[in-house]
Amino acid sequence: MCPDNAVIKLGPGNRLRFNYDYCKGCSLCATECPCGAIRMKNETI
């Protein structure tokens, strides 16, 4: 689940790809991930 379409499903049984240009860091994908595979991490600049 991504309101900004930053998470791209690669098909049944495949992984996901993230388009970080669209990601706003809302963490909705991590909250809604059913298996807990997505974790938010602070970015160091």
Residue 25 C-alpha from the chain's centroid? 9
pLDDT reported for residue 18: 92
Write the CB contacts of 28 (distance below 8 Å, at least 6 apart in sequence): 1, 2, 3
pLDDT tens track for 6-40:
999 898 888 889 999 999 989 999 999 888 888 88
pLDDT reported for residue 35: 85
SS (H, E, C) 15-45: CEEECCCCCCCCCHHHHHCCCCCCCCCCCCC
| 4 token code pair | 């900004």
The domain locations on the chain are: 1-45
The total number of residues written for the chain in this structure? 45
Does 1 score more than 90 pLDDT? Answer: no
